[in-house]
Amino acid sequence: MNPTNPKDRLEARQGDITALAVDAIVNAANSSLLGGGGVDGAIHRAAGPDLLAECRTLGGCPTGEARITKGYRLPARYVIHTVGPVYRGRPEDRRLLADCYTNSLDLAREKGVRSIAFPAISCGVYGYPMEDACKIAVDTCSAYLAVHDLPEKVIFVLFAADALEVYRRRIL
Ligand code: AR6
């Protein structure tokens, strides 16, 4: 157990997640794991075609679960693909989104990942309100870090300045 405040191991930054030289980046994928738009498209473009070839061997991924691949041409060693819920305002949306974070962190820890970066899962095409999703992301990761030494560091990477502000306020 790490005695420090888990929030000291959380950080929010603005930018493009594909540029980050961390041990693992998380992809907000769909259940086919065969690519798409948004951050998924950006990750596949930057990683190159070998990423899609490995994803094809995985047989998809249910909502809330996660799968891990290599990072290929990315600076990150691994990509963890997770499938967020399409937001419908149901109670299970919250649980499924929290599961995305916990299951991604479990896979990272199994591989000895020290630094991991998350995008705002479900906050684009899948329509999750940023404030609610941020609360779930920060609180779930914070609770996880309170009981695990790995990953040492979790970075939330936000595309937009207003999203960054929402995260910064929650982490303080
Ligand atoms: N770096 C960081 N954040 C990004 C980047 C980037 N390069 N590109 C977009 N974002 P979305 P979802 C932000 O739609 O809502 C795909 O087609 C974006 O501004 O990528 O989980 C999948 O295949 C937003 O805040 O993911 C699925 O079909 C956040 O990342 C579907 O979209 C997530 O937006 C998943 O939808």
In tens, the pLDDT along 158-168 reads 999 999 999 99
Pocket test for ligand 1, best of 118, 159, 162, 166 (most atoms within 8 A of CB): 159
**What backbone phi and psi angles, to 5 degrees, belong to 58?**
-90, -20
Cα dihedral 160, 82, 65, 126 sign: positive
Give me the mean pLDDT over the 106-120 stretch: 98
Residue 127 CA: nearest ligand 1 atom is 15
Give me the mean pLDDT over the 60-88 stretch: 98
> Is 31:62 a contact under the CB 8 Å cutoff?
yes
What does the mean pLDDT of the chain come to?
97
How close is the Cα of 159 to the center of ligand 1, in Å?
Answer: 9
Q: What is the DSSP string of 64-77?
A: T-EEEEE-TTSSSS
Q: Is the CB of 29 under 6 A from ligand 1?
A: yes
- pTM for the whole structure: 0.98
- For the chain, give every domain's residue range: 6-171
pLDDT band at 35 (very low <50, low <70, confident <90, very high): very high
DSSP H stretches of helix in the chain: 38-47, 49-56, 91-110, 130-147, 161-171
Residue 108 in this model has a pLDDT that exceeds 60: yes
Nearest CA to ligand 1 atom 33: 124
Q: Is the CB of 125 under 6 A from ligand 1?
A: yes
pLDDT band at 7 (very low <50, low <70, confident <90, very high): confident
In whole angstroms, give the CA distance from residue 121 to residue 100: 8
Other Cβ atoms closer than 10 A to 172: 7
In whole angstroms, give the CA distance from residue 168 to residue 125: 23
Q: What's the pLDDT at 36? A: 96
- Of the candidate CATH numbers 3.40.50.300, 1.20.120.10, 2.40.50.140, 3.40.220.10, the domain formed by 6-171 belongs to 3.40.220.10
- Percent of all residues in the chain with a pLDDT value above 90, rounded to a whole number: 95
